[in-house]
Chains A and B, each alone.
Chain A
Amino acid sequence: MLEIKKISKDFGGVKAVNNCSFKVEPNTITALIGPNGAGKSTLFNLISSVIKSDTGKIFFDKKDITNLPPEKVSNAGISRLFQKARLFENLTVEDNLLLALDHTDTKFWFNLFCKTPKQTDKIQKVEKMLDMLGMKKTKNMFAKDLSYGQKRLIELGRTILNPHSFLMLDEPVAGVTPELRDKIANILIELKNQGETILLIEHDMNFTLGIADRVIVLDQGSVLIEGTPKQIKNNKQVLKAYLGE
């Protein structure tokens, strides 16, 4: 589904991602783990083209998507959650989610001259998502008035609603309560059962190893090792990378 080939990114001498290669198979949850600064988020940024790679190629569904504009990567079918909150703070929760559904809202003349199209079916989709997240009561709240955990959930909802065939989630459960964590785990497993493919960055080992089919360990910008959660759990190299010497 996704294939990374020898990708590198240098930030003024810091090799954030260094000759990194791996594949993600369809209908799996693949976890990308590794110590702080290993280059996980940078890798996400390279895939979604938020930053441009120095060398290497990225293929999605056999198509070369290396360094396309971010909106083209998105429209190729990749939906992504950032590590840091990126909701539209001054819009309501509902509007935040509606924006993700399709692009009729970008058509200027249509929006100017046509009677604002009834968005009932879209609103239904949004309400269904809010229901699944247990966030119905926040529908008309401004995003900036939400708590951190609520923001994370809404952002996750927005990422899932954005049409895609591939989900990339950067630390979806960092800093959320244990109950919420279980809820998100269930949502992700449910999505996989519906046929979705998910690439996940997460520090919480219990969470990650609990839901992942495959684990890729990143250290200093390259793949250290990959395998099943079981293999990774007992691997000495992984422990060393995490704990230092």
Chain B
Amino acid sequence: MLSAYIIHLLILIGIYLILCLSLQLALGYTGLLNLGHIAFYAIGAYTSALLTLSGVPFIVSFLMAGIVSALFGYLLAFSTNKLKGDYLALATLGFTFVIYAIALNWTDLTNGALGLAGIPKPDLGILQIKSNAFYLFFVSITAVFSYLIINKIVKSPFGKVLEAIRDDELAVRILGKNTFKIKNYSLAVSAFFAGIAGSLYAHYITFIDPSSFGFMQIIPILSIVIIGGIASLRGTVLATFVLVLLPEPLRFIGFPSSVVGPVRQIIYALMLLLILMYRPKGFYGKVSLE
């Protein structure tokens, strides 16, 4: 069924879009080299799954996924306040390991390596989202909404402060602005949307386990953000489509899916390398990577 396959791809693109746009806010606009984005995705997925499995309505769980992730984002920003660049990258990567370890080992809560199965499809009270086409509709609305919110933030004066922090944090402080608070907001909002994306993923696949949230999962997302261009939402959208779709023809040439995964990683790595060599600003970025 070709149309089912296309709907599946579009749902994935929608989820990736939210994930990448929100990483763009923290990384591209604020200059926070956050490699812990997958952890927020995981927190969102588990929060939403656990809540709905214990009977909480979907829409509440969905929002809680974002809120709980945002709280973790705030905490992470708070505790890594003094760290910059490479050190921040390491600390946030460490955060991914911690969340992964919790998902794996706190079996009472997360069911460990066995994962959580039977996560219900969204039930919006009057509407029950059973078909994938309908799910795509829901994902699309969420993605558009996420885009609009993040776009509003980056285009507002607050967004200019974020960019200023990326370019020279000390100079922003010398202008009298409390950059600590501002960075906390940026990471919290970024985490909020990652959490929502996690919820969308959980209720789509209806099964989650820790393997979906390993630290390697950051690579495609990071690649999309960089290839699309630092501080460009348009670029991120384009890159998400390109990079999710690019490896897909492999399936038709007859590669088994066990090969498609690793080949995808290689394609991303190659794309990233090519971009860094020939177009260091990505598709639409205005900021070069130093």
Interface residues of A (CB under 8 A from B): 48, 50, 69-71, 74-75, 80, 82, 86-91, 95-96, 98-100, 103-108, 111-112, 116, 119, 142, 158, 162-163
A75 CB contacts on chain B under 8 angstroms: 176
Q: Are B175 and A108 in contact (CB under 8 A)?
A: no
Partner of B157, one of A87, A90, A116, A158: A116
Q: Are B176 and A105 in contact (CB under 8 A)?
A: no
- Within the assembled complex, what's the spacing in Å between the Cα atoms of A58 and B248? 64
A119 CB contacts on chain B under 8 angstroms: 157
- The smallest C-beta distance from A84 to any residue of chain B, in angstroms, reads 10
Q: Are B160 and A91 in contact (CB under 8 A)?
A: yes
- Within the assembled complex, what's the spacing in Å between the Cα atoms of A109 and B117? 38
Chain B interface size, as a band, is 20 to 34
**Closest B residue by C-beta to A161:** B175
Q: Are B164 and A99 in contact (CB under 8 A)?
A: yes
- Within the assembled complex, what's the spacing in Å between the Cα atoms of A105 and B286? 22
Near A by CB (< 8 A), chain B positions 159-186 give 159-161, 163-164, 166-168, 170-179, 181-182, 185
Could you list some 6 contacts between A and B, CB below 8 A? Answer: A69-B173, A90-B166, A91-B167, A95-B164, A99-B172, A112-B156
Closest 6 pairs between A and B when the two form their complex, measured CB to CB? A105-B157, A74-B176, A111-B158, A111-B156, A88-B167, A86-B171
Q: Are A90 and B286 in contact (CB under 8 A)?
A: yes
Partner of B155, one of A98, A116, A163: A116
- Within the assembled complex, what's the spacing in Å between the Cα atoms of A100 and B179? 14
Q: Are A111 and B164 in contact (CB under 8 A)?
A: no
**Closest A residue by C-beta to B149:** A112
- Within the assembled complex, what's the spacing in Å between the Cα atoms of A99 and B152? 18
- The smallest C-beta distance from B210 to any residue of chain A, in angstroms, reads 33
- Within the assembled complex, what's the spacing in Å between the Cα atoms of A74 and B178? 11
- The smallest C-beta distance from B81 to any residue of chain A, in angstroms, reads 12
Q: Are B158 and A70 in contact (CB under 8 A)?
A: no
**Contacts A95-B160, A99-B160, A108-B158; is A88 near B171 (CB within 8 Å)?**
yes
Chain B 146-158 per-residue mask, 1 if CB under 8 angstroms from chain A, else 0: 0001001101111
**Contacts A71-B179, A88-B167, A91-B163; is A112 near B173 (CB within 8 Å)?**
no
- Within the assembled complex, what's the spacing in Å between the Cα atoms of A47 and B138? 55
- Dominant secondary structure of chain B at its interface with chain A: helix
A103 CB contacts on chain B under 8 angstroms: 176-177
B231 at the interface (CB under 8 A from A): yes
* Best-surrounded residue of B172, B174, B231 (most CB of chain A within 10 A): B174
- Within the assembled complex, what's the spacing in Å between the Cα atoms of A89 and B160? 12
B287 at the interface (CB under 8 A from A): yes
A100 CB contacts on chain B under 8 angstroms: 175
**Contacts A90-B231, A91-B163, A99-B164; is A106 near B171 (CB within 8 Å)?**
no
* Best-surrounded residue of A74, A86, A96, A111 (most CB of chain B within 10 A): A111
**Contacts A105-B158, A107-B158, A116-B155; is A88 near B164 (CB within 8 Å)?**
yes
- The smallest C-beta distance from A112 to any residue of chain B, in angstroms, reads 6
Partner of A111, one of B153, B178, B287: B153
- The smallest C-beta distance from A54 to any residue of chain B, in angstroms, reads 20
Q: Are A74 and B174 in contact (CB under 8 A)?
A: yes
A74 CB contacts on chain B under 8 angstroms: 173-176
B174 CB contacts on chain A under 8 angstroms: 48, 50, 70-71, 74, 80, 82, 86
- The smallest C-beta distance from B218 to any residue of chain A, in angstroms, reads 24
* Best-surrounded residue of A100, A106, A158 (most CB of chain B within 10 A): A106
Q: Are A89 and B179 in contact (CB under 8 A)?
A: no
- Within the assembled complex, what's the spacing in Å between the Cα atoms of A71 and B178? 6
B163 CB contacts on chain A under 8 angstroms: 88, 90-91, 95
B164 CB contacts on chain A under 8 angstroms: 88, 91, 95-96, 99
B155 CB contacts on chain A under 8 angstroms: 116
